[in-house]
Amino acid sequence: MIDLKGSFVAIVTPFKDDKIDEAALRKIVNFHLESKTSGIVPCGSTGESSLLSLEEYLRVIEIVVEECKGKLPVLCGTGTNSTSKSLDMIKRASRLGVDGFLTIVPYYNKPTQDGMMAHFGALAESVDQSIVLYNIPGRTGINMLPSTVAALSRKYPNIIGIKEASGNLDQASEIAALTDLNFSIMSGDDALTLPLMSIGAKGVISVTANILPNVMANMCDLFAKGKVNEAKEIHLKLFPLIKSLFVETNPIPIKYAMHLMGFCGLEPRLPLLPLSDKYKEDLKKALIEQGIKI
């Protein structure tokens, strides 16, 4: 099972002429292999997974696994609002050598909590690798309750954690209270990483780590070691940049930032558009204030 703690990075999917930029993707992965990143998450929300064909999705995962060579765990984003389609994706991806799956709550059709239990149970039973639940009501339109999370963690040994992105500290506290210490809560919101760690989270699946992997990793590591004030200093310094990275829908701003840093093109896929001109100068300023050369 994956040791789910620290700073996992939700990497972007770089495009060139509306195709996967494989060279840029390999460059991004190797950047993290040389950093303090704890694990790599391709094909999540930041990776525009919903805009990839199945063939593109599998190719991205294949490249990431090839480059990691077992040096870092690969936790690939997976899942749709269809259990049967999700099962097909997870079975195909499992054969590529991934270490685990970040599985999103089914969106749009709004299943009941019992429906979520059945959905995630089917996924967990289909593979031996680690399963990490992904709760992000702002995108899915529905919230997975702490009682459901706890029930899944008790019933399925390979469900090892959750990326909690509800933005609700009460909910995260309840999850922590209902699950044992082996279950990992990971922040799904960079700005709330430190507050969530104060109530039991073990780290973050981060957007900001795309450009500042060592800083995000250090913040998590310092807090885990009890160096709370040092971790807080990093959090407060990062906060303006984090807010700038979410002025428009993720991954629009992070792709612009990575373009400025020479990692990849700035374009997401339609219906997403490149960052609006009105935000560009503020984001550039936030990057420079972090000591990033652009």
From the list 134, 202, 255, 256, the catalytic residue is 134
Pairing of strands 6-10, 100-104: unpaired
Torsion-angle region of 203 (φ positive above 0: left; ψ -120 to 50: alpha; else: beta): left
- Sequence-ordered alpha helix ranges (H) in 162-261: 169-178, 193-198, 213-224, 228-244, 252-260
Phi, psi of 76 (to 5 degrees): -90, 140
Q: What is the CA radius of gyration of the chain?
A: 18
Residue 134 catalytic?
yes
From the list 5, 19, 156, 163, the catalytic residue is 163
Residue 163 catalytic?
yes
| Gap between the Cα atoms of 33 and 11, Å rounded | 13
Tell me which residue of 253, 248, 251, 250 sits closest to 286, measured CA to CA.
Answer: 253
**Taking a C-beta distance cutoff of 8 angstroms, is the pair 7, 217 a contact?**
yes
**Taking a C-beta distance cutoff of 8 angstroms, is the pair 4, 202 a contact?**
yes
At 147, which helix (H) or strand (E)? helix 146-155
Q: What is the DSSP string of 57-83?
A: HHHHHHHHHHHHTTSS-BEEEE--S-H
Amino acid, single-letter form, for residue 52: L
- Residues annotated catalytic, as ranges: 134, 163
